[in-house]
Amino acid sequence: MYAAVVAGPPRELALTELHSLISSTFAGKEGDFHRERLEMRLEAAERLAAREDRTPLEDAELEEFRFSFHEAIEKWRRDPLNPATNPLELNVRDFGAIGDGETDDSAAFALAIAAVRALGGTPSFLRIPAGDYFFGKAEPGLVEPRGNFHLDFSALTNCAVVGESPETTRLEFGVYAQFGISMDDTENCTLADVDIFWRKPPFSQAVIESYDPSDFSAVVRHHPGTLLPTELDPDKYIHVCALFSPEGKFIKDRGITYPFFGRRPAEDLGGGRYHIWFEERPQYGSPIDKFAPLPGDVICTVDRMFWLSAIRTEGSAYCNFLRVWIRNSPAGTICGTSARYMTMDHCKVLPKSPDLMLSSNADTGFCPYGAHIAHCEFRNMSDDGVNCLGHGVDALRREDSRSLVIRPLRGRLRIGDFQRIVRASDGSIHDMRVAAIRIIREESRHFPGTSRETCDRWVVSYDKDLPPGIVTEADIEAGTATGPDGKAPKADVVFTPLEWGVGFTMRGNWIHDFRGRGACIQCPHAIVEDNVFENLLDGIHVSGRMGLREGPLASDVLLRRNVIRDATFGIRTYYRDPYGRSLEDMKGIRHLEIVSNRIDNTRTIFDFRNTADDIILLDNSIAPRP
């Protein structure tokens, strides 16, 4: 089976004509987030179009931009937030929802969502009046059974699910260690004006009573309602410990280390007091003697179930989150690296209550690089603020000299698109144009709780021979592949950049008080402007971390009018190959402009690695630490 060729608008269409199209489409709606997203994406495209050294892939990205720009305008004509669509209105109360904080409203919401699906894409509102809606069940999603969800908004089209406000419409999830909401395979949908949280926080919190640096141990008093230190499972993905002040301020310089499971389990001293021990491994290159908790500091250790997000948007297109608050997510808050053109506007990620410190066990937005993040506040996470990227997949085997078998990539792949192959051995990048795609059934695999038992594989053929020496998982299993410097071999990684086109954008966000990076840009053609990044590790991080299959490498990035204060690093760049090595001779980060930013009280202002010689530094204000 072959993918169809999809034609875009004529190539000769000038980008300048698109400004008038925005004005006519959004007349009288100057503050609309749809319009803001399109205006910023158009600026990113114009910056790319003005360059004379564009690669064939970048020319194709401009063509994809023209196509997706007109697609976005057409989506607006069917968007329920557009008054001209005259959307139908449904109300969860009409399907039996109570909203008293105790009654399980799972069945009522399932009926309401089924009624929306039955509309077949007719523009509609699903209203959620003020109330505390409790969900005591988590079940497999309709389109993606791998994982259980409290709410399944997947496969909806042209729908807005809207509460009264996040202050009054609360969605409480009662099943620990399960997903929150599925918006997989949704199209042109909005979730707005709700507050989302779990009944049980997925982390342990305690107050330091004393710390003994001679054996790296502490006596702590447990905070009721959070996980007990003895409940944390070392076989799960436990992330680092972090310190906070009693007011919720992240303690950066002396407050990060590994948790205690590598040495010995926590000891229950009775009366809510515990003796805990910390790992002796360094964190961020600093020895553990830099970890110096004081009595009264609050320590948090996350039970990071890294696949469990608050909202998952895999395979979705043109989905929006408007005034959504998210608290104590077990991993990333909104995750969907295969989503296209996602928007977060006036959203918040924050602790569940003033006496709890953490808001999320991982990144706030694990976003596709066509996303638009604007006017949000993200604080007290356990990892990065916004991480924009596309996820690569390993090469599984070669069919012939021009064809690879890979795992499916959610989203769309068309003949004529480019795929980017990253060589694990040396980090080199090869852009390959797709000539044909076949879908095959290869292995039997059973998904618990479902009848699904098969997996698909894609055979992707290219219009030229694959790079010599390409390494696949089949080569590794056969023992015919070797890694560099005696390391175990790794498969080469495949990305599909044209699923998203041009323009990851961030504007007007406040991201603060956590141990990660404010904005982690791992994609091309990004504009990051008018944000405040405060009290964190890196203000802005421009990179490609191929070892985590994150990329496909940053280029053509504008950082403008941002404020970075109280950071360890202001702005950093680097490229790490699939082995995690930083290859200093790889100059893959190109066309980086850093203009009119303010960087205050930051230990290292700039740390540039793996960049070409075209970095522009202009009119930046720098106030080093006193």
Whether the Cβ atoms of residue 400 and residue 430 lie closer than 8 Å to each other: no
Kind of pairing between the strands at 393-400 and 403-406: antiparallel
> Confidence class of residue 235 from pLDDT cuts 50, 70 and 90?
low
User: What are the pLDDT digits (tens) for 393-450?
Assistant: 999 999 999 999 998 876 678 898 899 999 998 888 999 999 999 988 766 554 444 4
Q: What is the pLDDT of residue 450?
A: 44
Residue with tokens 């966000």: 509
Quick one: 593 exposed, middle or buried, by C-beta within 10 A (0-12, 13-18, 19+)? middle
Q: What is the pLDDT of residue 308?
A: 84
Q: What is the pLDDT of residue 283?
A: 53
Q: What is the pLDDT of residue 321?
A: 96
* Cis-peptide, bond into residue 80, ω within 30° of zero: no
Q: What is the pLDDT of residue 577?
A: 85
User: What are the pLDDT digits (tens) for 605-624?
Assistant: 999 998 988 899 999 999 87
Least confident of 100-114, 185-199, 208-222, 284-298: 284-298
Q: Tell me the DSSP string of 181-236.
A: EE-TT-BS-EEEEEEEEESS-SEEEEEEEEEETTTTEEEEEEPTTSPPTTT--TTS
Quick one: 136 exposed, middle or buried, by C-beta within 10 A (0-12, 13-18, 19+)? middle
> Confidence class of residue 508 from pLDDT cuts 50, 70 and 90?
very high
> Confidence class of residue 330 from pLDDT cuts 50, 70 and 90?
confident
DSSP 329: B
- Indicate the average pLDDT of the chain: 88
Mean pLDDT of 346-350: 96
- Res. 282: pLDDT tops 60: no
Top pLDDT among 100 and 238 is at: 100
User: What are the pLDDT digits (tens) for 537-567?
Assistant: 899 999 988 888 888 889 999 999 999 999 9
Mean pLDDT of 25-32: 78
Q: Which helix (H) or strand (E) holds 63?
A: helix 56-76
Is the CATH number of domain 84-196+319-347 2.160.20.10? yes
Q: What is the pLDDT of residue 175?
A: 94
- Res. 499: pLDDT tops 50: yes
- Res. 285: pLDDT tops 60: no
Whether the Cβ atoms of residue 356 and residue 385 lie closer than 8 Å to each other: no
Q: What is the pLDDT of residue 261?
A: 59
Mean pLDDT of 515-522: 92
Distance CA 545, CA 388 (A): 12
Distance CA 508, CA 529 (A): 7
Of 65-69, 96-100, 240-244, 383-387, give the range with the top mean pLDDT: 96-100
Q: What is the pLDDT of residue 443?
A: 60
Mean pLDDT of 575-587: 84
Neighbouring-strand partners of residue 623? 600
- Res. 6: pLDDT tops 60: no
Residue percentage of the chain with pLDDT more than 90: 61
- Res. 144: pLDDT tops 80: no
Residue with tokens 């399960």: 178
Q: What's the pTM value of the predicted model, to 2 decimals?
A: 0.92
Whether the Cβ atoms of residue 126 and residue 112 lie closer than 8 Å to each other: yes
CATH topology of domain 203-302: Elongation Factor Tu (Ef-tu); domain 3 (2.40.30)
User: What are the pLDDT digits (tens) for 247-266?
Assistant: 999 998 888 777 765 567 88
Which residue, 48, 18, 50, is CA-closest to 35? 18
For the record, the structure tokens of 619 come out as 């009119």
- Res. 110: pLDDT tops 90: yes
Q: What is the pLDDT of residue 562?
A: 98
User: What are the pLDDT digits (tens) for 171-203?
Assistant: 999 999 899 999 999 999 999 999 999 999 999
Quick one: 625 exposed, middle or buried, by C-beta within 10 A (0-12, 13-18, 19+)? exposed
Least confident of 119-133, 309-323, 451-465: 451-465
Domain ranges within the chain, ordered by starting residue:
17-75, 84-196+319-347, 203-302, 393-495, 500-623
Residue with tokens 């990333």: 332
Q: What is the pLDDT of residue 12?
A: 40
Q: What is the pLDDT of residue 287?
A: 57
